[in-house]
Amino acid sequence: MSHNDTIPLYQSSQSDIDEIENMMNGGGFQSGPGTVLPARPPSPTRPSIPVSSSSSPFVQSNLPPPPPSSSSSASQKVTPVPAPPSLPPSVNFGSSEGSKTTGFGSPPNTLTEPVWDTVKRDLCRIVSNLKLVVFPNPNREDPGKALRDWDLWGPFFFIVFLGLTLSWSASVKKSEVFAVAFALLAAGAVILTLNVLLLGGHIIFFQSLSLLGYCLFPLDVGAVICMLKDNVILKMIVVTVTLAWSSWAAYPFMSAAVNPRRKALALYPVFLMYVSVGFLIIAID
C-alpha cells in the first residue's frame, strides 16, 4: 500500500506544515488519502500534501474543509465521517478527529482515524485493485507497478467463491471438491510466486499472491455461468473465454517481473494452473 497519490513527507517538514494547517483549519487536521491493504493488511493515510495531477489516483489540491472534529481522545468508536463528494471514487479521503500534539510533531492520524474510514479505505482499495487487474489497460505505462497496494481480501473472496461454486455444482463429494479447489488455488499461488522468485524475478511475495488471486475473477464468473447452464458445449466456450481473460490479465505483471528470456518459464505454470481450474469447472457435474 503506497501512497502513490500523495508525496510522503519527512517528519521535520511535516511538523511545519502541520502548524500552518492547524492555524488554517483552526485545530482540525486533514489526512491525505492513503493506500490500503486488507484481509490482511491495510495501509493508513499518511500526513502528506496531496498533489494535483491529471492522472486519476492523484487528489485535487484544494482540500475541502474538514468536518467538525469531535473528541480527539483515543477511544473513538465507529464515527462515520462524510467523505467529500468532490473526490474521485477510487481515492478515499479520511480525516482524523482533531490533532494530537505529539512529541514528534507529526500527529499519527492513521492511529486516530475513525473505524469507518478504515473500512471505506479498504473497500475502495479492493475495488480499485480489481479494476486494475481484471480490466487491463493496454496503455498502462508500467504494468509491474500497478498492483502496488496489494491486498488479500479480494483473492480470499474469489478463491472461496470459486470453491463454493464448484462445491455447489458437484453432486457428490462436495466437501472434497471445496477442499481440493481451495488447496489447489492457495498452494498454486504460493508455488507460482516461488517459481518467479527462483527464476530471478523481482516480485514481492504478497503482491504476486494478490495478483494471482485477483486474476481468478474471470474464472469465478465462468464458474457461475457453468453452474447455471449445464450444456457441455457452452461450458467449454465459457471456460475457454474466461481462461484466456484470466491469463491475459496475469500476463503483464508476470512478464514484467522476470528476465525476458525466462518469460515463458514464468508464464507457463500460471497458464497451467488456470487451465486445471478450467478443467475442474468443466468436469464438475
Partner 1 sequence: MDPSQAPVENYANPNTCLFHVLFKGAALAFYILSALFFNSFVIIFVVTVLLAALDFWVVKNVSGRILVGLRWWNEINDLGESVWKFESLDQESLARMNKKDSWLFWWTLYLAAAAWLILGAFSLIRFQADYLLVVGVCLSLNVANIIGFTKCKKDAKKQFQQFASQTIASRFQSTVQSAFTLV
User: Which residues of the chain form contacts with partner 1 (CB under 8 A)?
Assistant: 1-2, 35, 37-44, 73-77, 100, 102-104, 108, 110-112, 115, 118, 122, 144-145, 148-150, 153, 156, 160, 163-164, 167, 174-175, 178-179, 182-183, 202, 204-207
Q: How far is the CB of 213 from partner 1 (least distance, A)?
A: 13
Q: What is the C-alpha to C-alpha distance for residues 7 and 16, in angstroms, rounded to an integer?
A: 15
CB nearer to partner 1: give 179 or 234: 179
Q: How far is the CB of 121 from partner 1 (least distance, A)?
A: 9
Q: Which of 253, 235, 254, 247 is nearest to 271 (CA)?
A: 247
Q: Which of 260, 144, 139, 163 is nearest to 211 (CA)?
A: 144
CB nearer to partner 1: give 11 or 86: 11
Q: How far is the CB of 199 from partner 1 (least distance, A)?
A: 16
Q: How far is the CB of 174 from partner 1 (least distance, A)?
A: 6
Per-residue three-class SS string for 194-246 = HHHHHCCCCCCHHHHHHHHHHCCHHHHHHHHHHHHCCCHHHHHHHHHHHHHHH
CB nearer to partner 1: give 2 or 86: 2
CB nearer to partner 1: give 263 or 275: 263
Burial category of 68 from C-beta neighbours within 10 Å (exposed 0-12, middle 13-18, buried 19 and up): exposed
243: left (phi over 0), alpha (psi -120 to 50) or beta: alpha
Phi (first) and psi of residue 43, to 5 degrees: -105, 140
Burial category of 214 from C-beta neighbours within 10 Å (exposed 0-12, middle 13-18, buried 19 and up): buried
Cβ(258)–Cβ(199) below 8 Å? yes
CB nearer to partner 1: give 7 or 237: 7
Q: What is the C-alpha to C-alpha distance for residues 14 and 161, in angstroms, rounded to an integer?
A: 44
Q: How far is the CB of 54 from partner 1 (least distance, A)?
A: 19
CB nearer to partner 1: give 45 or 195: 45
CB nearer to partner 1: give 148 or 262: 148
Q: How far is the CB of 86 from partner 1 (least distance, A)?
A: 26
The letter for the amino acid at 223 is A
Element (H, E) at 258: none
Q: How far is the CB of 51 from partner 1 (least distance, A)?
A: 14
